[in-house]
Amino acid sequence: MKGEDIFKYRKTVRQYLPDVVSDEDVEKILDAALAAPLAAGDDKTTHITVVKPGEIMEKIRAACQLTRKNGEKMDPLYGASTMFFVSSTDLSEDCIEFCNAGCVIENILLQATALDLGSTYIWGCLKKLKKNPEAVALLNIPEGYEIMSAAVVGYPAEPLSERVGDRERISHNIIK
């Protein structure tokens, strides 16, 4: 997928197939993540962790697991088994690190789309994960860094389809 189609087809996937993303595609997505814009100097205080399918990924999934109001367990990673984390150190009062993380994650989501892969911004379950130091330690994030955001990528259960209705989606105005 090329050019503006990437924006038309990028969407949050919430059901993944068990098929594993190739190492080559993971490298392409990592390259995109590493090319993200960051606030001045923050390339020195930002860290990206890639978790490939395997035992550690399954332990992270277990640590992220949420329980619905009806008691049902749910996998907030939707079955995806490749995950990217963005972490930061030297956190600033203005929380610019979350803006940096958003840029890194968006590059991940868009590169995944370009490869016809599904992608999901992961935020909701990180609160639970961060309360589990044993699970966080599995990520081998450098000392002093805190997880800011995450994303999963994988083969979507349904092929990506073109977005509709974005013109009505976000309020906007145009000035001349």
Ligand X SMILES: Cc1cc2nc3c(=O)[nH]c(=O)nc-3n(C[C@H](O)[C@H](O)[C@H](O)COP(=O)(O)O)c2cc1C
- The binding site for ligand X (CB under 6 A) comprises 11-12, 14, 120-124
Shortest distance, position 47 Cβ to ligand X, whole Å: 19
Q: Which is nearer to ligand X, 12 or 67 (CB)?
A: 12
Shortest distance, position 120 Cβ to ligand X, whole Å: 5
Closest Cα to residue 105, out of 93, 124, 123, 132?
Answer: 123
Q: Which is nearer to ligand X, 22 or 67 (CB)?
A: 67
Task: Please check whether residue 9 is in contact with residue 162, taking contact to mean a CB–CB distance below 8 angstroms.
Answer: yes
Shortest distance, position 125 Cβ to ligand X, whole Å: 6
Shortest distance, position 122 Cβ to ligand X, whole Å: 5
d(CA 33, CA 55): 24
Q: Which is nearer to ligand X, 73 or 176 (CB)?
A: 73
Q: Which is nearer to ligand X, 69 or 176 (CB)?
A: 69
Task: Please check whether residue 39 is in contact with residue 118, taking contact to mean a CB–CB distance below 8 angstroms.
Answer: no
CA distances from 6 to 84, 109, 139, 157 (A): 20, 10, 30, 18
d(CA 6, CA 77): 22
Q: Which is nearer to ligand X, 169 or 176 (CB)?
A: 169
Token pair 């969407």 is at which residue?
11
Task: Please check whether residue 99 is in contact with residue 88, taking contact to mean a CB–CB distance below 8 angstroms.
Answer: no
